[in-house]
């Protein structure tokens, strides 16, 4: 038996049915939050169905907000409107955490509960770059760190940063930095050696 003061409850079969059937007759009875995305929704929300183990049930939006969840951009539980700025932060956070995985506009829209079109426009307006440009920036930044600090091959570095197609990784890296990954690594190594020999006059 769950005590009264606990703000969320374990999901019942009936609630799970309501969520998977997008049953709007349950919208006034509960809202559900998803741990993996940090978003909460009405039962009727048309967003992709969550993994059941990640679902928390709340009596109302206020309780979910108190626990740090954010309202869904799409279904606006209890009429709560997620500010665009918060939404873009949510999307950028998702990219920062998942850059090594396949990411497309569709995947992002799916995870962050909006349409690809709306996501593209809103992100660009606030960040001054498209989501794809932001993904590329994050991946290249992580690739630089790997090239400078590890012995991994170019192909391995590409895989680590979500660019498993090596020729494409090399092309993109060169476009963004002016160097191929190998040139970038050599440049860095060369400079390090010069510094060492300058300091270490015997």
Which two three-digit tokens encode residue 142? Answer: 């992580």
Residues that bind Zn ion (CB under 5 A): 41, 45, 47, 72, 74-75
Our CB check for Zn ion shows the closer of 74 and 144 to be: 74
Instruction: Give alpha helix (H) positions in 10-66.
Output: 13-20, 61-66
Nearest CA-CA partner of 114 in 37, 55, 51? 37
Distance (Å) of CA 185 to CA 3, 57, 139, 150: 59, 50, 16, 10
Our CB check for Zn ion shows the closer of 45 and 161 to be: 45
We find the least distance from the C-beta atom of residue 116 to Zn ion, in angstroms, to be: 16
We find the least distance from the C-beta atom of residue 80 to Zn ion, in angstroms, to be: 11
Residue 5, phi then psi, degrees to nearest 5? -80, -10
Rounded CA separation 188/191 (Å): 5
Rounded CA separation 61/41 (Å): 9
Rounded CA separation 73/113 (Å): 6
We find the least distance from the C-beta atom of residue 38 to Zn ion, in angstroms, to be: 12
Question: Which residues are catalytically annotated?
Answer: 41
We find the least distance from the C-beta atom of residue 41 to Zn ion, in angstroms, to be: 3
Our CB check for Zn ion shows the closer of 111 and 135 to be: 111
Our CB check for Zn ion shows the closer of 19 and 45 to be: 45
């Amino acid at each position: 038996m769950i005590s009264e003061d606990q703000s969320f409850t374990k999901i019942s079969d009936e609630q799970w049915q309501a969520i998977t059937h997008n049953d709007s007759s349950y919208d006034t009875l509960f809202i559900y939050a998803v741990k993996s995305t940090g978003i909460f929704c009405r039962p009727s929300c048309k967003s992709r169905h969550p993994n059941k183990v990640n679902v928390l049930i709340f009596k109302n939006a206020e309780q979910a907000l108190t626990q740090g969840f954010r309202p869904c951009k799409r279904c606006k539980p209890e009429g709560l409107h997620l500010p665009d700025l918060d939404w873009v932060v949510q999307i950028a956070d998702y990219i920062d955490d998942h850059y090594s995985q396949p990411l497309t506009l569709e995947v992002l829209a799916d995870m962050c509960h909006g349409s690809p079109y709306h996501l593209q426009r809103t992100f660009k307006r606030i960040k001054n770059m498209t989501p794809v440009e932001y993904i590329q920036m994050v991946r290249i930044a992580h690739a630089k760190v790997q090239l400078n600090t590890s012995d991994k091959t170019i192909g391995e570095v590409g895989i680590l940063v979500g660019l498993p197609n090596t020729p494409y990784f090399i092309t993109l890296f060169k476009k963004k930095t002016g160097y191929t990954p190998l040139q970038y690594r050599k440049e860095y190594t060369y400079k390090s050696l010069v510094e060492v020999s300058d300091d270490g006059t015997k």
